[in-house]
């Protein structure tokens, strides 16, 4: 019952405050637009706006690691595993310029969706090839202009918090534009709001770990190998955060011939 009451209060505050913050950001856009074509100021206010929703609760404890791995003077493709809607609010806490790739339906939400349009984020209609091609074109445009892209390569939220299979598109994008992929690992947000429920859990330990950039040329144009290597590193880091020891295969069970 307490969780349901707090969830209702959170929703009321979320939408009422979003109306105010959208108006503020629209004003920022109006003032800074003539000399800020990439709308960095609008995005940075969005970072504060989005992240403050998760920072206000003292029972959602945060640990950010690896900020030094974020490229400072180079665009990149930022990718993250996806456990919950709250991943978006958490990742705003990175406070670096980028353009989100998000499904088209989110852009239709009052205030939040309007703010995404204000930021010139990238729209995607999933499973629609025309929309996917346009999304890739838009992402290339922003990367060419020096702005990073943020995308969830799983394509949807995890049902149980485990890592889903990464789609190959973000890795082809990075290879085509000759920019690195920066993997980000999130753990703990699935507990806040599991997929399939609307009630919030107001106690969780959340970890965000930025891994070192990975360059496409290390894989000689093989996007699939690029994708698999990054996904393996994210899986290993997620297991490490959770305290899971990787399974060790006994030497007697190793097929030596298969390794040659």
According to the model, what pLDDT value does residue 246 have?
57
Q: How confident is the model at residue 166 (pLDDT cuts 50, 70, 90)?
A: very high
Least Cα distance to 142 among 91, 175, 99, 96 occurs for 99
Rounded Cα–Cα distance for residues 135 and 143 (Å): 12
Q: How confident is the model at residue 245 (pLDDT cuts 50, 70, 90)?
A: low
Answer whether 100's CB lies under 8 Å from 122's CB. Answer: yes
Mean of the pLDDT values across residues 45-69? 93
CB atoms within 10 A of CB 82: 23
Residue range 175-214, pLDDT digits in tens: 999 999 999 999 999 889 877 788 898 889 999 999 999 9
Answer whether 94's CB lies under 8 Å from 240's CB. Answer: no
Identify how many contiguous H helices and E strands the chain contains and give both numbers: 9, 7
According to the model, what pLDDT value does residue 198 have?
81
CATH code for position 161: 3.40.1130.10
According to the model, what pLDDT value does residue 156 have?
85
Total domains in the fold of the chain: 1
**What is the strand order of the sheet 77-80 is part of?**
60-65, 204-210, 181-187, 77-80, 148-151, 98-103, 122-124
Residue-wise over 199-216: b if at least 16 C-beta within 10 A, else e?
Answer: ebbeebebbbbbbebbeb
Asked if residue 254 is part of any domain, the answer here is no
According to the model, what pLDDT value does residue 183 have?
97
Asked if residue 136 is part of any domain, the answer here is yes
Asked if residue 22 is part of any domain, the answer here is yes
- Strand bridging mode 60-65 / 98-103: unpaired
More confident residue, 140 or 155: 140
- Structure-token pair, residue 43: 């995005």
Asked if residue 149 is part of any domain, the answer here is yes
Asked if residue 173 is part of any domain, the answer here is yes
- Domain housing 165: 2-244
Asked if residue 249 is part of any domain, the answer here is no
Answer whether 91's CB lies under 8 Å from 208's CB. Answer: yes
Phi, psi torsion values for 38, nearest 5 degrees? -85, -5
pTM summary value: 0.89
Answer whether 175's CB lies under 8 Å from 221's CB. Answer: yes
Asked if residue 258 is part of any domain, the answer here is no
Residue range 8-20, pLDDT digits in tens: 999 999 999 999 9
Which position has the token pair 């499973």?
Answer: 127
Asked if residue 65 is part of any domain, the answer here is yes
């Amino acid at each position: 019952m307490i969780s349901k009451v707090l969830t209702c209060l959170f929703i009321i505050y979320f939408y009422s405050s979003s109306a105010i913050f959208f108006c503020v950001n629209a004003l920022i856009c109006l003032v800074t637009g003539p000399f800020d074509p990439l709308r960095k100021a609008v995005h940075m206010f969005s970072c504060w706006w989005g992240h403050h929703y998760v920072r206000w609760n003292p029972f959602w404890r945060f640990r950010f690691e690896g900020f030094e791995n974020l490229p400072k003077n180079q665009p990149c493709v930022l990718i993250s595993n996806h456990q919950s809607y709250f991943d978006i609010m958490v990742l705003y806490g990175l406070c670096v310029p980028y353009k989100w790739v998000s499904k088209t339906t989110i852009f239709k939400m009052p205030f939040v969706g309007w703010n995404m349009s204000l930021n010139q984020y990238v729209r995607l209609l999933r499973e629609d090839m025309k929309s996917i091609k346009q999304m890739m074109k838009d992402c290339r445009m922003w990367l060419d202009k020096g702005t990073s892209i943020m995308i969830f390569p799983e394509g949807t939220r995890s049902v149980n918090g485990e890592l889903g299979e990464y789609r190959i598109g973000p890795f082809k994008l990075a290879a085509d534009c000759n920019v690195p992929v920066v993997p980000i690992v999130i753990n703990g947000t699935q507990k806040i709001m599991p997929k399939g429920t609307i009630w919030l859990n107001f106690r969780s330990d959340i970890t965000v770990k930025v891994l070192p950039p990975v360059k496409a040329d290390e894989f000689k144009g093989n996007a699939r190998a690029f994708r698999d290597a990054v996904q393996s590193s994210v899986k290993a880091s997620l297991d490490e955060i959770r305290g899971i020891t990787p399974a060790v295969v006994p030497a007697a069970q190793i097929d030596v011939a298969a390794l040659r």
